[in-house]
Chains A and B, each alone.
Chain A
């Protein structure tokens, strides 16, 4: 026992020595934080390594963080003076920092730049990096949601086209559900976190509302419709706790005929689904009514505490200059309209991507609002309260509205 104790302490001391790496004095070092590279190679880690390898007097130190943790780690580091130079955040989290000036205002630098051109970006991603008319970052990549449907099941039920309206969505789902065989009509995610808001907010938006005005007639109708489908076993009750990835997993295994989710599902679906499938736009309330969809994806920004703003901007420019590699190498959709997406040669994948690219035109950001996370909790809590029958849709949305009002008025 005594011996092991000593060797453990020795191990500790050794570990501490290894931890203290010497800093390079001559070159400027830019630190980049992002979630890329944890499971598979992603854009930020790849581009950072490439830039680091270049002999231009700028080194890039890359740190990979978890999705759930990156905002907290950045806040903590910012408060203690250890903030990175560049950080990549989920788009609704961006305003938390940009609204307080924690991101560097790059409006003027971008105006001088040959590479970063704000006008080339889609409106949604651009809004999410803007605050008070100033530019605080650039979109890294984007995504949105649509409806995946199982063409074999549609054919077997004699349904020709995918649903265009929510009424059709319900009608088809009820026809396609086969409770005895464990097959649901559809699946989606109404989980109690950002994912729930991600899928529910577009419904509010397409019925004429927005995050500041959630209690719309359409939203109430939609909640009643989904609640009815859950009660009748057309939708699994577990849509309340499954994330989009797991919920779509049940679609892939043939246990649901339709699934609301996004382009990140495509590769797994191509591999796993042993049936014919397609994607269609998110339904609307009436045919030809206003469309909306969720805007996902990450942004890149330079922290205002950086000691080397110019060098950091150069790194940012390099990242942006590689946007044409996002899709072919990493499967992400760029946030700009001026980047061509080469065909992958996989028929279903290319067809699905075409739909998602069209859907992106209707994608609206969540916020931007510095206290977005609180607004979001009000929205997903309301959705869950209505879908579990704890409150009527009207009560739930009124309560959410009251909470949101106090947040926005501040």
Chain B
């Protein structure tokens, strides 16, 4: 390998790839700034003729976005909390042994998430109604969506635990630690980075939770931003530039957080954290 020029060439390629990949994101921002009829123009314009940034404050105020976004944060936070609490222990055990029971356990975790949320929502609605949980709609959504997020989390975190050297845990047990003690004082700290990163990823995808929320949460003041977005799709009219503006407001904060954190996320997962 000639290490003097190759890396810079690769950087250029990487930037080009990223530009292609991020184009849809750019298109979201551009479309939000176009007027109602310009978005139908043929051929389309790559930069709006008269950019209309006012659409952002308008949409923000008209759709009570602060409330929606706060609900999204609460719901995604709840989903993440439950997933992390229940999923971590499960992943740890599934990584610790290698026998037919573990196979069955893994198999169950995967199979239980097969049905699409759209099909599961009716039975869940019926069940939640029976036990009165519909009166606490956000809690209900958190529980339902956590079950959907769990398998992914378990599979990823299990990989993290796989890379914690077993000798360390055994040494702790020899030193007189109980299983519980060894788990909390040795294994968990070693896997911390991986768990944290998986929790962040769970939070981010839970931020877009839609199907359960729209059926279970009736009051607009408790609905997350995804449900607020679909309110734009009327029977005979669709306000596309507002939809795009709303989408932009919806995803930009989380994109920013992501861009700030992404170095840690990626390196947390790829270099050493899993070891």
Contacts and interface: CB of A to CB of B under 8 A. Distances in A.
Contact of B42 (A35, A143, A250): A250
B37 interface: yes
Contacts of A215: none
Contacts of B148: none
B234 A38 contact: yes
A79 B81 CA distance: 33
A255 interface: yes
Nearest to B219: A19
A19 B136 contact: yes
B138 A253 contact: no
Interface string B184-224: 00000000000010010000000000000011001110100
B231 A66 contact: yes
Interface size class of A (residues with CB under 8 A): 35 or more
Contact of B125 (A63, A80, A90): A80
A114 interface: no
Interface size class of B (residues with CB under 8 A): 35 or more
B50 to A, nearest CB: 13
A367 to B, nearest CB: 17
Q: Give the interface SS of chain B, mostly helix, strand, loop or mixed.
A: helix
A67 B222 contact: no
Given A11-B77, A12-B142, A82-B129, A243 B135 contact: no
Contacts of A82: 129, 134
B234 A73 contact: no
Nearest to A64: B220
B238 A245 contact: yes
Interface stretch (A1-9, A305-313, A335-343, A379-387): A1-9
B183 interface: no
A246 B235 contact: no
Interface centre among A1, A16, A76 (most CB of B within 10 A): A16
B234 A67 contact: yes
B38 interface: yes
A15 B42 contact: no
A246 B37 contact: no
Contacts of A280: none
A152 B83 CA distance: 62
Given A250-B42, A253-B40, A19 B238 contact: no
Nearest to A12: B78
B239 interface: yes
Nearest to B196: A1
Interface centre among A5, A69, A81, A250 (most CB of B within 10 A): A5
A171 interface: no
Interface in A128-146: 143
B41 A38 contact: no
Contacts of A19: 135-138, 219, 222
Contacts of B230: 66, 68
A15 B138 contact: yes
A76 B122 contact: yes
B33 to A, nearest CB: 16
Nearest to A82: B129
A64 B137 CA distance: 16
A399 to B, nearest CB: 27
Interface string B31-66: 000011111111100000000000000000000000
A235 to B, nearest CB: 14
A90 B41 contact: no
Interface string B55-92: 00000000000000001001001101100110000000
A246 B234 contact: no
B137 A39 contact: no
B78 A8 contact: yes
B258 interface: no
A182 interface: yes
Contact of A90 (B122, B126, B235): B235
A296 B37 CA distance: 25
Given A35-B234, A35-B235, A250-B42, A20 B36 contact: no
Nearest to B36: A272
Interface of B: 35-43, 71, 74, 77-78, 80-81, 84-85, 122, 125-126, 129, 134-139, 142, 196, 199, 214-215, 218-220, 222, 230-240
The 7 closest A-B pairs by CB, nearest first: A8-B77, A182-B42, A264-B236, A16-B136, A249-B40, A253-B40, A38-B231
Given A76-B215, A268-B36, 12 more contacts: A18-B222, A19-B137, A35-B234, A39-B231, A67-B234, A69-B214, A73-B215, A80-B126, A81-B129, A253-B41, A272-B36, A273-B37
29 contacts: A8-B74, A8-B77, A8-B78, A8-B81, A11-B74, A11-B77, A12-B78, A12-B138, A15-B71, A15-B222, A35-B234, A39-B239, A63-B219, A66-B230, A66-B233, A69-B214, A72-B215, A182-B42, A243-B238, A244-B236, A246-B240, A249-B36, A250-B42, A253-B41, A262-B236, A264-B237, A265-B236, A268-B36, A273-B37
